[in-house]
Amino acid sequence: MGGAMLSLGFYVPSAGKEATIVKTTEAEGFGVELNAWIHIDTSGKVTIFSHRAEMGQGVYQAIPQIIAEELEVNLDEVNIVFAKGDNKKYGNQVTGGSSSVRTTYKNLLKLSATAREMLMEAAANRWKVSRAECYAESGHVFHKPSKRKYHYGELVLDASKLQAPEQVTLKKRSEYKLIGKPLRRQDTRMKTNGTAIFGLDKEIPGMLYAVVERNPRLRGVVKSVDDTDALKVPGVKRVVKVRMGVFSTYREGVAVVADSAWQAMQGRKALRVTWDDTGFEHQNTEQIFRRQADELKNNEGLSFKTQGDVNAILNGASDKIDVVYQTPYQQHACMEPLNCVAHWQGDKVEIWGPIQAPDWVQDYISKEMNLPRENVIVNMTFLGGGFGRKAFMDYPHEAVVISKVIGAPVQVVWTREDDMTQGPYRPGISYRCEGVVTNGEISAFKVKMAGQNNDHWRGGPKDKPNRSTSEGLLKPYFDSIKNLSIQDIPFETPIPTMWWRSVYASTNGFAYESFLDELAVAAGKDPLEFRRSYLKDERAQKLIDRMQEVSGWKKRKKGDGFGVAITECFNSTVGQVVKVSKQPSGGVKIDRVWAVMDCGWYVNPDTIKAQVEGSIVMALGAATMHEIRFEDGLTVQKNFYAYPMPRIYDIPPIEVYIMENDADAGGVGEPGLPAFAPALTNAIFDLTGKRIRKLPFDLNTVSS
Amino acid sequence: MLMATVSCKINGKDQTLEVDPQMPLLWAIRDVARLKGTKYGCGVAQCGACVLHLNGEAVRSCVTRVTRAEGQKVVTIEGLSENNDHPLQVAWQEIDVPQCGYCHSGQIMSAAVLLRENPNPTDQDIDRAMGGNICRCGTYPRIRKAIHRAAEMLRSGGKRNGTDL
Ligand code: FES
Ligand code: FES
């Protein structure tokens, strides 16, 4: 990035405060948290650094689409570059919680408008005219009366010497030319001809390949290694013991390093490793869920939210509903298995990979390898899926360790089997739901959750309830249900768990929204109108109107096979209606899914539709096709034949609608997922009278 | 183990690969011929990420020995068209099919054989031809739409400059 240019970023003084826009030359003085750069060089080329990972959710499109709007440039003339990991410079880069747009868009709009204003001022100064006579469009500043113009490249040098204005006027939503439009994604063309570089495609000169035999029980250590035969395999260069972080503990493995990935895999087959698997429990899935059932029966757990006097009402009721819902462990199963390239260079290391949290990797490697932060350079490639799994440090860590030992750049390649058997997983969780309905109203509502807390690996407090105990449940319920109790029973296993697309909303949503359906049935009410009566909130009311309108809800008859669910996730609310019918063969078929998303202010409606479609497909798999199970501490499912994925012929028609309002932006990559499973099982109840309380279940046998 | 010499045409160019004869074509294409567009997803013929064309047929290169390519024609996603303008690629771009994009080399290569054999596929034909390709991001509704769109382009005399269409 040599030569004259205008470079802007923003500096966020502290959480909650408004950002200050600064030029790169001033940036040094700020030292910390300088975010998301725009560079314009003298040719007029605009480069935008995307500091977030692109894993399919469309941030590579969304961030430039926001910037181009206020900067007044054409989107296809913008050069998009992935920023390196550096949270001192870009702020939080962890691409999770559907946060990329909702937490940065206001600053990005301001940043872009600031750059535009400076370019306009530079032009006005040069023409010696009033700034008010000028306007910006398509990367140019125009002088209206004289029809003169400069392209941005001609102005950057002057602009870079100006003071950034303190105040800029942002466009109204009605004035947007790009934001809110279904513009095509900038990364699509690279993804139709094989030129997009994913982690696994990264090559650097002299790079070797490693595959690692890791402890199959996740927590064991290496007892002995016999590498005699492995080293005889052609292409195999070294066999190296590795130890990489798994949360607050470590995992051990033995790496086979070779000239090609496949040769390394052959070498691994010839390796003989024995493990010491003592000192931790070897889990069985049955036993995990039995323990959860016992906890739910015997334990109150920690209070997440308590209002009114739920227990007294429950104890005094003769006809309370008391049911348990169960959701399984799940694997992310990103289409691109984990992999990472590292090049250890003595006093520094450079890393390339499909990485969701480059700044975390930088911090972690710096600490583990005893290197100054700035000597850990983390580059993001495109990610072949992420879903939470690629926000974790283990696979970069092992690449760095191996590169250091062998003294050469190396790519660690995980096989599908490694990826599926090594976790971390979405935790399997059980919920006990107790409720009483009196005169058609909920008089007591109690949900207890027993399942692993993802925060515990980060050292989260164990005497506090899971902060996500009610994730998924819409907040207005807290105002309208007077007697309510939500409890978390701490539950541990040696199995590492991690965020999985939409996190706890993906499991909570099933329990809460199925339970609400049971309460509606007990109240003898239409399940959607029943929800409406508790959701005293304008946006929720409008969402319900829209759901009814698009799905023909009011025209349906009881028993037609319609089900509904509404969930909240990362500041967006999604309602889904599912319609099912009986198959002659005895199973149930999904005829159609209607999804309505309220995410407030949004960038690209087509990206949102794609994300909701994809979320529903992922939810379909998790609800009806696959789960991770453990036997004697070993993961049973090793590849797609045992963890079946939805296929093109499994997918029902999906209609997605987006609510229009001016509320603050919510997430879009994950919120489409949680409502699907309960809407589906509620529809099956409507059709068959059978209540499904345990996932996954088989659509082909459900009605028999 | 002896190394083998496999001579074949890859994307229209004659190539000689010095490889272990046991090596699957997938890894030979990726790591020896250094064409990274063909992807590894499962290694056991379950996901279709590795689909390429061997003499015009869609094969799962992860379970195809490299020696099967001897004297044959291999076409990968990089060679499907010269300018990223095979009707399927154009339809994929029009409809913005990919999300993460990792599965789409395989999806497009599978769809290309379907369209060559059946320029007017029904939904059922698409189900049958594309059932071997997993998309974890769930782009299936758009894949279906894009195949129909490409078929329409072909029928109305759209471009036919795919290497083996
Ligand atoms: S990698 Fe060949 S089918 Fe999955
Ligand atoms: S687009 Fe991500 S796997 Fe298909």
Write down all domains in chain B, each with its CATH number in brackets.
4-79 (3.10.20.30), 87-159 (1.10.150.120)
Domain membership of residue A667 (yes or no) is yes
> What count of residues does chain B have?
165
* Per-residue three-class SS string for A507-565: HHHHHHHHHHHHHHHHHCCCHHHHHHHHCCCHHHHHHHHHHHHHHCHHHCCCCCCEEEE
CATH code assigned at A247:
3.30.365.10
Pocket of ligand 2 contains residue B49 by CB under 6 Å: no
Domain membership of residue A574 (yes or no) is yes
Domain membership of residue A196 (yes or no) is no
Say if residue A70 is exposed, middle or buried (CB neighbours under 10 Å; 0-12, 13-18, 19+): buried
pLDDT at A102: 80
Yes or no, beta carbons of A335 and B40 under 8 Å apart? no
Mutate to test the interface with B, among A195, A231, A648, A649 (most CBs of B within 10 A): A648
Yes or no, beta carbons of B31 and A615 under 8 Å apart? no
Same domain, A250 and A369: yes
Same domain, A415 and A443: no
Gap between the Cα atoms of A237 and A405, Å rounded: 12
- C-beta of residue A233 within 8 angstroms of C-beta of residue A267: yes
Residue A132: HSE in the Cβ half-sphere, 13 Å Cα cutoff: 0
- C-beta of residue A623 within 8 angstroms of C-beta of residue A684: no
Q: Is B138 on the interface with A (CB under 8 A)?
A: yes
List Cα–Cα distances, B147 to A201, A452, B56, B117, in angstroms: 27, 43, 18, 13
CA B59 to ligand 2 centroid distance, Å: 19
Please state whether beta strands A588-598 and A572-582 pair in parallel, antiparallel, or not at all (unpaired): antiparallel
Domain membership of residue A154 (yes or no) is yes
Residues of chain B positioned with their CB less than 8 A from the CB of A618: 136-138
Residues of chain B positioned with their CB less than 8 A from the CB of A54: 100
Pocket of ligand 2 contains residue B151 by CB under 6 Å: no
Pocket of ligand 2 contains residue A56 by CB under 6 Å: yes
Q: Is B20 on the interface with A (CB under 8 A)?
A: yes
Same domain, A213 and A325: no
Same domain, A377 and A396: yes
Beta-bridge partner residues of B9? B14, B73
Domain membership of residue A699 (yes or no) is no
How large is the angle between the packed helices A105-127 and A152-160, nearest 10 degrees?
90
CA B108 to ligand 1 centroid distance, Å: 14
Q: Residue of the nearest CA to atom 3 in ligand 1?
A: B45
Q: Which of A190, A640, A654 sits opposite B141 (nearest CB)?
A: A654
Same domain, A553 and A667: yes
Gap between the Cα atoms of A419 and A600, Å rounded: 36
Same domain, A145 and A49: yes
Residues with pLDDT less than 70, chain B:
1, 158-165
B47, B92, B102, B110, best to mutate for ligand 2 pocket (most atoms within 8 Å of CB):
B102
A640-674: b (≥16 Cβ within 10 Å) or e: beebbbbbbebbbebbbbbbeeeeebbbbbbbbbb
Same domain, A473 and A572: yes
| CB neighbour list of residue A572: distance below 8 Å, 6 or more residues apart | A98, A597, A598, A599, A600, A666, A667, A668, A671
* φ, ψ (nearest 5 deg) of residue A692: -95, 125
A335, A336, A611, A647, best to mutate for ligand 2 pocket (most atoms within 8 Å of CB):
A335
Same domain, A515 and A552: yes
Domain membership of residue A69 (yes or no) is yes
pLDDT digits (tens, 9 = 90+) for B93-127: 999 999 999 999 999 999 999 999 999 999 999 99
Chain A residue whose CA is closest to B28: A262
Domain membership of residue A197 (yes or no) is no
Chain A residue whose CA is closest to B136: A335
| CB neighbour list of residue B100: distance below 8 Å, 6 or more residues apart | A54, A55, A56, A334, A335, A336, A382, A383, A384, A385, A386, B136, B137
Same domain, A455 and A511: yes
Domain membership of residue A693 (yes or no) is no
Residues with pLDDT less than 70, chain A:
1-4, 9-37, 88-91, 704
Q: Which of B78, B96, B102 sits opposite A385 (nearest CB)?
A: B102
> Model pTM?
0.94
Total structural domains within chain A? 3
Gap between the Cα atoms of A204 and A234, Å rounded: 22
Q: Which of B101, B137, B140 sits opposite A196 (nearest CB)?
A: B101
Beta-bridge partner residues of A251? A244
Sequence-ordered strand ranges (E) for A584-689:
588-598, 630-631, 634-635, 654-658
Count of beta carbons in the 10 Å neighbourhood of residue A633: 20
CA A499 to ligand 2 centroid distance, Å: 19
pLDDT at A89: 66
Count of beta carbons in the 10 Å neighbourhood of residue A319: 8
Residues of chain B positioned with their CB less than 8 A from the CB of A190: 101
Same domain, A17 and A30: yes
The bound ligand whose nearest atom lies closest to the alpha carbon of B59 is 1
Same domain, A372 and A389: yes
Same domain, A518 and A638: yes
| Segments forming the whole domain that contains residue A89 | 5-179
